[in-house]
Amino acid sequence: MTEPFVIVGGDAAGLSAASKLKRENPDREVIVFEKGSWVSYAHCGMPYYVKGEVDSLTDLLSLSPDEIAEREIDLRRRHEVVAVDPAARTVTVESEAGRFEQPYGDLLIATGAHAVSAPLDGVYLDGVFTMHSMDAAGALRAYLTPPADTEAAHIDGEYVDRERVETYAAMDPPESAAIVGGGYVGVEMAEAFCAHDLDVHLFQRPDRLLSPFGDAAGDQVAETLREHDVTLHLATEVDELVGDGHVAGVATDDKQVDADLVLVGIGIQPNTELVGETAIELGESGAIATDDYGRTNVEDVYAAGDCAEMCHTVTGASDWVPLGLTANRAGRAIGQTIAGTPTLVGDIAGTAVVKAFDMECGRTGLLDHDRARAAGFDPVSETITASSRSGYYPGAAETTVTLTADWDTGRLLGGSIVGEDRAAIRIDTLATALDQDMTVSELERLDLAYAPPFSPVWDPVLVAAKVLNGTLADT
């Protein structure tokens, strides 16, 4: 008999793989070990739950417990896999019931990532949060909600850390918040805190917000946040979080800003402790190295999601860009491969979108010239601003597009788009172009959509391609 398909981690990659294999091969046993209580939840939705636009924490679940059961996936919550023995083809599992060895036929490591908070002093004070777990989101929403308005439905779910939630629910709601980090978590949380009428301060070490989205996005999102009374401290390093028991503020080298609540959003790191002692190799990023089918270097051991590297569309090299679609796509492909149809996990272009209030940003590929040079390219960029619709049509908004290309070949390397009118979704055109190694000349000739309510004759993407192509031709 074939040993089961064992999956370590019950979020996007793990449950996508489990679901796909059970659909293709219902007789194969699939066991998912999840260290915590929550499975299959939408990380990216948590800021909107905290904001109050999403009613319930359980609305963020992609699969309900019933759906998981219907798929006949053997899901074990609160089961931590603490060791892998590729020679014996077993994993060691710890749970309340004790420790045991589980044999596997195929193994998927889908352990995800964790929020970075160290080396900041004071991160363990009450009132300090990272935004990478459902329990944190639940506690934060409870804290933000006046005790009189706290309904069980809003801090719901049989899986939530109820003690933590109730502790915060009982506190007086915060009046001020400091956010450490101006990446997309920081920006989204600024919007969320504004919705609760907090006095919001955002600290960012670089001199712009949203560094991976390029200068225009950083500048325009800063302007938008300021319009909503967020105080920005750019080019400012936070030294420590201060307070006695509960956080009281944020200290930099020359000032201290009071805050009843601190959100630390300075990045995440892959969870790879499990493979540390094994022969399973990590890549340069520190995430698990995988091939085009999501296989690690060890036979029948796969890795996917936020703990794994994938091949980058533009550089062709292994890279670590932890995002939701990547995890789902790779998990699904691995499930199909194990079911007997070898399926590519696909490449990643680092396509990402974010909004701050009504300002939308999208980015894909390589924008940063240093990174592009490191990958062997000779980068050149142009930035244009064009209307999102025919200029005479109501609702048109300025849309700023930056494109980066390689001087020698004219190949598109990356792009970003910023604006208030359907700007973010336009990034998909560039993501598709990157996937196909298109040149800027080819991009310029694309037959994109035009009608006054949606786009000017020359879509902002085409305007940018024309300008960059002109620059490339002038050499």
CA distance 47 to 195: 11
**Amino acid of residue 194:** C
Q: Pattern of binders to a copy of itself over 36-65, x per CB under 8 A?
A: ------x-xx--x----xx----xx-x---
- Could you tell me the smallest distance in angstroms from the CB atom of residue 127 to a copy of itself? 26
Kindly tell me which residue out of 126, 291, 435, 471 binds a copy of itself, with binding defined by CB under 8 A. 435
For residue 73 the two structure tokens come to: 């996936």
Q: Which is nearer to a copy of itself, 90 or 343 (CB)?
A: 343
Does an H or E element contain 337, and which?
Answer: helix 324-338
Active-site residue flag, 44: yes
CA distance 454 to 126: 48
Q: How many binding residues for a copy of itself (CB under 8 A)?
A: 69
97-156 positions binding a copy of itself, by CB under 8 A: none
Indicate whether 25 belongs to the interface with a copy of itself (CB under 8 A).
Answer: no
Q: Which is nearer to a copy of itself, 164 or 422 (CB)?
A: 422
Indicate whether 234 belongs to the interface with a copy of itself (CB under 8 A).
Answer: no
3-class DSSP string for 345-385? CCCECCCEEEEECCEEEEEEECCCHHHHHHCCCCEEEEEEE
| Cβ neighbours of 334 (radius 10 Å) | 31
Interface region with a copy of itself, contact rule CB under 8 A, candidates 149-157, 237-245, 250-258, 340-348:
340-348
Write down the catalytic residue from 44, 194, 307, 361. 44
Indicate whether 392 belongs to the interface with a copy of itself (CB under 8 A).
Answer: yes
Indicate whether 348 belongs to the interface with a copy of itself (CB under 8 A).
Answer: yes
Indicate whether 12 belongs to the interface with a copy of itself (CB under 8 A).
Answer: yes
440-459 positions binding a copy of itself, by CB under 8 A: 442, 444-455, 457-459
3-state secondary structure of 45: helix
CA distance 473 to 475: 6
CA distance 360 to 399: 10
Instruction: From residue 40, give the alpha-carbon distance in Å to each of 95, 335, 438.
Output: 20, 16, 35
For tokens 């194969």, name the residue. Answer: 28
- Could you tell me the smallest distance in angstroms from the CB atom of residue 324 to a copy of itself? 5
Kindly tell me which residue out of 19, 117, 145, 364 binds a copy of itself, with binding defined by CB under 8 A. 364
Indicate whether 250 belongs to the interface with a copy of itself (CB under 8 A).
Answer: no
Kindly tell me which residue out of 71, 201, 371, 426 binds a copy of itself, with binding defined by CB under 8 A. 426
CA distance 135 to 141: 10
Q: CB within 8 A of 223, min separation 6: which ones? A: none
C-alpha closest to that of 232 among 250, 216, 213, 208? 208
For tokens 């600290």, name the residue. Answer: 203
3-state secondary structure of 109: strand
For residue 459 the two structure tokens come to: 């879509």
Indicate whether 82 belongs to the interface with a copy of itself (CB under 8 A).
Answer: no
Indicate whether 220 belongs to the interface with a copy of itself (CB under 8 A).
Answer: no
Indicate whether 195 belongs to the interface with a copy of itself (CB under 8 A).
Answer: no
Which residues are catalytic, by number?
44
Positions in the binding site for a copy of itself (CB under 8 A)? 12, 42, 44-45, 48, 53-54, 59-60, 62, 313, 323-326, 328-329, 341, 344-355, 360, 362, 364, 390, 392-394, 422, 424-429, 431-433, 435-436, 438, 442, 444-455, 457-459, 461-462, 473
